[in-house]
């Protein structure tokens, strides 16, 4: 009797599951959502800190202190990036064939982002006093560095087969935070 009930449940489940996502598809969608939501938040956190620092540099700043404001902004972004590295180490993803590789790629990206910010901070510390007419260039250069730091966070969808690559492509939240699969 128990065997008959078990068999009929499997048959009923298989029949109903034809229009529902498979467990692999659901895990891929959940993974894409978790990864992309996390990366978008990380990008926003770094950008918010940079924007706050750059807004502190105004035409009224003493050229001798403008660089210090930029360095302080990088110090704060480095603290944020250190938290990202720790979060990447602890990130929970559904158990899938690609989970370990993706978590390793996210950790490596967070560590690379931190390294970029540390390099950019060192470059900002080496700047001579930033005259008012040079502030736009200094902030623009620092902005490019922050862009580099956020771009190295991006995992490559092309590294993952089938369902996860499709989930990354289907999730609008993944745009600009995951390197897309190249079209042939």
User: Any idea what DSSP says for residue 96?
Assistant: -
Average pLDDT, the chain: 85
Helices (H) and strands (E) in the chain — how many of each? Answer: 6, 0
Q: Is the dihedral of CA 100, 24, 37, 142 positive or negative?
A: positive
Is residue 67 predicted with pLDDT exceeding 70?
A: yes
The pLDDT of residue 113 is 98
Check pLDDT > 70 for residue 10.
Answer: no
Quick one: three-class SS letters along 107-160?
Answer: HHHHHHHHHHHHHHHHHHHCCCCCCHHHHHHHHHHHHHHHHHHHHCCCCEHHHC
Which pTM does this prediction carry? 0.83
Cα separation, 137 vs 125, in Å, equals 15
| Torsion angle of C-alpha atoms 162, 151, 30, 183, degrees rounded to 10 | -30
- Does residue 30 register a pLDDT over 60? yes
Indicate the pLDDT class of residue 14, thresholds 50, 70 and 90.
Answer: very low
Which of the two residues, 90 and 22, has the higher pLDDT score? 90
Query: What mean pLDDT is predicted for residues 62-86?
Result: 93
Given a cut of 60, is residue 20 above it in pLDDT? no
Which band of pLDDT confidence, cut at 50, 70 and 90, is reported for residue 15?
Answer: very low
């Amino acid at each position: 009797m128990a065997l008959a009930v078990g068999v009929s449940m499997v048959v009923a489940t298989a029949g109903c599951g034809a229009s529902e996502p498979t467990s692999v598809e659901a895990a891929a969608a959940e993974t894409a959502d978790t990864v992309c939501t996390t990366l978008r938040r990380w990008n926003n956190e770094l950008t918010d800190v940079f924007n706050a620092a750059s807004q502190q540099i105004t035409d009224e700043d003493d050229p001798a202190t403008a660089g210090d404001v930029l360095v302080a902004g990088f110090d704060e972004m480095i603290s944020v990036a250190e938290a990202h590295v720790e979060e990447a180490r602890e990130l929970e993803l559904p158990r899938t064939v690609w989970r370990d590789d993706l978590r390793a790629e996210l950790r490596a990206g967070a560590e690379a982002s931190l390294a970029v910010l540390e390099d950019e901070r060192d470059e900002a510390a080496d700047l001579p006093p930033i005259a008012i007419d040079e502030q736009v260039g200094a902030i623009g250069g620092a902005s490019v560095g922050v862009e580099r730091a956020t771009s190295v966070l991006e995992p490559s969808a092309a590294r993952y087969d089938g369902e996860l690559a499709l989930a990354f492509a289907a999730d609008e939240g993944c745009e600009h935070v995951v390197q897309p699969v190249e079209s042939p």
